[in-house]
Structure 1
Amino acid sequence: MATIDGLPPLREVIRAHDLVAKKQLGQNFLLDLNLTAKIARQAGDLSGCDVLEVGPGPGGLTRGLLAEGARRVLAIEKDARCLPALAEIEAAYPGKLQVIHGDALEVDVLAHLTPPIRIVANLPYNVGTELLIRWLTPDNWPPFWESLTLMFQKEVAERIVARPRTDHYGRLALLAQWRCDARIVMHLPPEAFTPAPKVHSAVVHLTRLAEPRYPADGKVLSRITAMAFNQRRKMLRSSLKGLGPDVEAHLLAAGIEPTARAEEISLEQFCALARQIVK
């Protein structure tokens, strides 16, 4: 795998460009090109898709995506030190890779991508969850992307796929599962990375649904779940009292006991409550 594209192994690339991972940028480089190709394969057949990659670093996953046949890759990298290494990949795949030096939270990616679009990334730890929430909560659904194949800290991955009455169940699970099918497809130990983080990692694959799983107003659902899980140990009649004096009546009408706690309530019930609130 190290020579599949005629480019040197990633350890040589890092050494040649003096790319020491920066903690403040949330960087942990994945150097095994067999692993990066395996992650790319979790996104499915990429031959007819543009792929958005955030935080490519020295380009391990970028090379995996291109080697697996991605139609085109747009890589957004904040760290200017990585640009020369990415330029070498760009030269090896003419017309297949575009690198933008910038902040993924600010770049208008649709100006550079053609549908169908998939997002595949080993997200920087410091912005991973914020990016995911942005991708899950656009003003209009379906979003510009077909699927997300993303690496997170294992605990974050478990929060995305969590079920009610479990420790990891919360607002992130509800936002993800309301509009997507979500599953963990890979686990990676700390030693797979340079430098090795203190936590295990996991890859989550999310496939968008054509319509949300249950009808609800997105902004209302987001507000309710934020209030409920910000005080997750309290009874809902207490944590949601900011919704107004009729909160207990709304809960009962949605089939929810006012004495229940947020972690006990299913996605379907939260959506029913959101519909009650806007009546």
Structure 2
Amino acid sequence: MSAIDTLPPLREVIATHGLSAKKALGQNFLLDLNLTAKIARQAGDLSDCDVLEIGPGPGGLTRGLLSEGARKVLAVEKDARCLPALEEIAAAYPGRLQVISGDALKIDPLAYLTPPIRVAANLPYNIGTELLVRWLTPPEWPPFWQSLTLMFQREVAERIVAQPGSKTYGRLAILAQWRAEARIVLSLPPEAFTPPPKVSSAVVHLTALPEPRYPADAATLSRVVAAAFNQRRKMLRASLKGMAPDIEDRLISAGIKPTDRAEQVSLEQFCTLARLVAT
């Protein structure tokens, strides 16, 4: 019998510690341990990895990650009410779970982790996108992480994997797909959570590429893509006119029609344009 089987059910843990989910913290607890183990398996072989988990709450996914063999889990939790429940898990898995109390946006997890590192989390909805953008835009590439296995609202997940021509295609898709392989690996209905959110959720698995898919300066690409999608209804010759006085010529050189709109432009074309704008 594994250690996870000796711990009480999550509903009992929540009742014991008075852990009603707080909307202000973006909390929706996933209580089905079969589901949390399934999510943990999407992160791949964890036996030789340290795993960073943000917002573990009562520890459902934490238990899944540990039972699936993670070498170590670093759990960062802002809600002090959850700490006693997490300490019970730490006691069941001696030396393999470290819990840090604090704000994930302000803590440097690398001080506590040893490579190789994977990230797996049911991210609090209110900081999920911000954390993802940070992980995708480090000063140097490859990043500290090998892969990210993250739960988002379904709409955010679809934006991450979106392709040109779709309504969900935008800055997040460019950011994710430029430097990573991104795919939706699991979908979850609202009733899987306590309390049920108003929307469905999905788990996205991102694997870091050794180098960006196409050459481009990160800052220039970010600037071009932001300008294009900030005015996505405009033709690119209008939305990008501040990039260069001869922007129409540069668009044409990149294989882009000046009358195209941002959602019609592929990642490769954006990277080509970024190189032309940088010259």
TM bracket, shorter-chain basis: over 0.9
Corresponding residue SS for 1:14: helix
Matched, 1:255 2:239: no
> CA–CA distance in 1 between the matches of 2:224 and 2:141?
20
Which structure 1 residue ranges, 4+ long, deviate > 2 Å from structure 2? 1-5
Matched, 1:175 2:180: no
Partner of 1:231: 231
> CA–CA distance in 1 between the matches of 2:265 and 2:278?
19
Q: CA RMSD in A?
A: 1.1
For structure 1, the 5+ residue unaligned runs are none
Partner of 2:58: 58
Partner of 2:29: 29
Residues 180-219 of structure 1 mapped to structure 2, 5 A cutoff: 180-219=180-219
Partner of 1:19: 19
Partner of 1:95: 95
Matched, 1:155 2:155: yes
Q: What letter matches 2:190 in structure 1? A: P
Corresponding residue SS for 2:158: helix
- Cα 1:2–1:79 change in 2 (3 A) is farther
| TM-score of the two chains, using structure 2 as the length reference | 0.98
> CA–CA distance in 2 between the matches of 1:109 and 1:143?
13
Corresponding residue SS for 1:203: strand
C-alpha offsets along residues 85-132 of structure 1, whole Å, 9 cap, x if unaligned? 001001111100000001111111110000000000000000000000
> In 2, are the aligned partners of 1:2 and 1:33 still within 8 Å (CA)?
no
Indicate the percent of aligned positions where both proteins have the same amino acid.
76
> In 2, are the aligned partners of 1:2 and 1:8 still within 8 Å (CA)?
no
> In 1, are the aligned partners of 2:3 and 2:92 still within 8 Å (CA)?
no
Partner of 1:139: 139
C-alpha offsets along residues 139-180 of structure 1, whole Å, 9 cap, x if unaligned? 100000000000000000000000000111001000000000
Corresponding residue SS for 2:268: helix
Q: What letter matches 1:12 in structure 2? A: E
C-alpha offsets along residues 15-52 of structure 1, whole Å, 9 cap, x if unaligned? 00000100010000000000000000000000000000
Deviation at 1:253, TM superposition (A): 1.3
Partner of 1:106: 106
> CA–CA distance in 1 between the matches of 2:167 and 2:253?
27
> CA–CA distance in 1 between the matches of 2:172 and 2:5?
38
Residues 62-101 of structure 1 mapped to structure 2, 5 A cutoff: 62-101=62-101
> CA–CA distance in 1 between the matches of 2:246 and 2:118?
43
> CA–CA distance in 2 between the matches of 1:5 and 1:44?
22
Deviation at 1:3, TM superposition (A): 7.5
Deviation at 1:250, TM superposition (A): 1.4
| TM-score of the two chains, using structure 1 as the length reference | 0.98
> CA–CA distance in 2 between the matches of 1:63 and 1:122?
13
> In 2, are the aligned partners of 1:57 and 1:82 still within 8 Å (CA)?
yes
> In 2, are the aligned partners of 1:3 and 1:9 still within 8 Å (CA)?
no
For structure 2, the 5+ residue unaligned runs are none
> In 2, are the aligned partners of 1:183 and 1:204 still within 8 Å (CA)?
yes
Corresponding residue SS for 1:228: helix
